[in-house]
Structure 1
Amino acid sequence: MKVYAINGSPRKSKNTATLLQKSLDGVKESAKGNEIETEIINLYDLNYTGCKSCFACKKLGGASYGKCALKDDLQEVLEKVSEANGIIFGSPIYFGTITGQLQSFLERLIFPYLVYDKNYSSIAPKKMPTAFIYTMNAPEEAMSQIGYLTTFNNIESSIEHIFTKPLVMYSNSTYQFDDYSKYKADAFSEEERAEHRKVQFPLDCQKAFELGANLIK
């Protein structure tokens, strides 16, 4: 069995990546003796684009029916992920939505499995369990006010339609800089952010661990 974490952040050791690793630790903990391999895929290490609307994945009798025909760094990744036993997506929030890297990845992953029949059926190889971890500067109480939840729900609905309904967690009011004094960021209180991280981020790490532990049943 193999579970992949898809890191949509350009950073490999900060909030999103840390929570993804905790979630994979939870996956392994839940294995209870069963052999489960885990891997983080860092999207910013790869050279690729989003969907190019070539429709090769929809061409009846075509060599690429049901899979993406583009030849770039995602080709091998998409092949691996298609046979996964679970996927955990993670992204910071940029301008109210997930990063462009992860959005492009989802286009390439999901669209080939979406059939243009009357039911918009899924031909994904597996109805694998999924999860989504969002990290963001916004406080929890502001997410609905500024429309984040609507955006997230749309993303999750697309994933659910093709695979399964994602388990979801949010990490809010994240600590963005190692030294706030070096940046123009007086909209935020470094002291409040530091205290929030000290208290809340360990709890978020535990939530991520539990999310991973609950992924494979």
Structure 2
Amino acid sequence: MKVLAIDAGARRSAVSRAVESAARSAEAAGAQVTRVRLDEREIRFCTSCGFCGTSGACKIEDDLPSLAALIAGADGVIFGTPGYFRRANVCTKAFLDRLSGYFGAHARGAETRACARGRSAVVITACSAPEPFATFFGYSTGPVRELRRALEFAGLRFVGSLAVTDLWRRSGPDEVDERKASSLGRILVGRI
């Protein structure tokens, strides 16, 4: 079974460590994990040209086609992004906006929505706000909601999430967050 671990954080910080914990746990449960850091890939913004609506693929030449193929070939996806002002970061936004050309209802290429259907996904996010403010004001729940909608649109089944909060006081996930991230990796493999 194959799992794709996508880390959209620009720094090796809370999101990176939590995604890595989930990935190691998935490996321990028997999955073959491929790790991708979005900041090391070239992903340009959608230009709203409409090409994907007629051709089923995006005409922008960058790393997105290879990432779409990785998603289509994976049985499960771990997706981590930092949250900024109740939203996923800009790298994640560019990635998600352009995935519709590959997984949308109009997609006609080799990587179609049908390829992703039946796959499972978990989401990991991090923000500086402490609880209960992170949840109440959407600093932690906003990015999870955004990713969940996009991944479900692509045909993936959402099976869980983790929000690492209160990072204004600490540099990364604590032991409890690490255990939750590891648990997400096991849950993902169990749902495949």
Interval of TM-score (by shorter of Structure 1 and Structure 2)? 0.7 to 0.9
- 1:70 is matched with 60
Q: Work out the CA distance in 2 between the residues paired with 1:55 and 1:164.
A: 27
Q: Work out the CA distance in 1 between the residues paired with 2:73 and 2:23.
A: 17
RMSD: 2.2
Q: Which has the higher strand share?
A: 2
- 2:158 is matched with 165
Pick closer, same or farther for the CA change 1:56–1:5 going to 2, 3 Å: same
TM score, norm. by length of structure 2: 0.83
Alignment check: 8 A CA contact 2:19 2:124 kept: yes
Alignment check: 8 A CA contact 2:159 2:188 kept: no
- 1:214 is matched with 187
Q: State yes or no: 1:145 paired with 2:144.
A: no
Q: What's the CA shift for 1:83? A: 1.2
- 1:188 is matched with none
Q: Who wins on radius of gyration, i.e. which is larger?
A: 1
Q: What's the CA shift for 1:150? A: 4.8
TM score, norm. by length of structure 1: 0.75
Q: Work out the CA distance in 2 between the residues paired with 1:205 and 1:155.
A: 21
Q: What's the CA shift for 1:71? A: 1.1
Q: Where does structure 1 differ by over 4 angstroms across 4 or more consecutive aligned residues?
A: none
Q: What's the CA shift for 1:206? A: 0.8
Q: Work out the CA distance in 1 between the residues paired with 2:188 and 2:178.
A: 15
Look up the equivalent residue of 2:80 and give its one-letter code: G
Task: Describe the superposition over 1:22-61 as per-residue Cα deviations: whole angstroms up to 9, x where unpaired.
Answer: 0011111222xxxx321221111122212222322221xx
Which of 33, 41, 50 is the aligned partner of 1:38? 33
Alignment check: 8 A CA contact 2:144 2:161 kept: no
Q: State yes or no: 1:82 paired with 2:72.
A: yes
- 1:27 is matched with 26
Kindly, what percent of the aligned residue pairs are identical? 23
- Equivalent position SS for 1:101: helix
- 2:17 is matched with 18
Structure 2 gaps of 5+ residues are 107-111
Count of residues in correspondence between the two structures = 182
Q: Which range moves more in the overlay, 204-213 or 71-80?
A: 71-80
Q: Work out the CA distance in 2 between the residues paired with 1:173 and 1:105.
A: 26
Q: Work out the CA distance in 2 between the residues paired with 1:124 and 1:112.
A: 10
Alignment check: 8 A CA contact 2:103 2:116 kept: no
Pick closer, same or farther for the CA change 1:142–1:150 going to 2, 3 Å: same
Q: Work out the CA distance in 2 between the residues paired with 1:86 and 1:68.
A: 23
- 2:109 is matched with none
- 1:184 is matched with none
Task: Describe the superposition over 1:34-93 as per-residue Cα deviations: whole angstroms up to 9, x where unpaired.
Answer: xx321221111122212222322221xx4xx2x333211223222222211111110111
Pick closer, same or farther for the CA change 1:75–1:112 going to 2, 3 Å: closer
Aligned runs of 1:95-110 on 2, under 5 Å? 95-110=85-100
- 1:182 is matched with none
Q: What's the CA shift for 1:154? A: 4.0
Alignment check: 8 A CA contact 1:30 1:214 kept: no
Q: Work out the CA distance in 1 between the residues paired with 2:143 and 2:187.
A: 24
Q: What's the CA shift for 1:123? A: 2.5
Q: Work out the CA distance in 2 between the residues paired with 1:111 and 1:159.
A: 13
Q: State yes or no: 1:2 paired with 2:2.
A: yes
- 1:132 is matched with 123
Alignment check: 8 A CA contact 2:86 2:142 kept: no
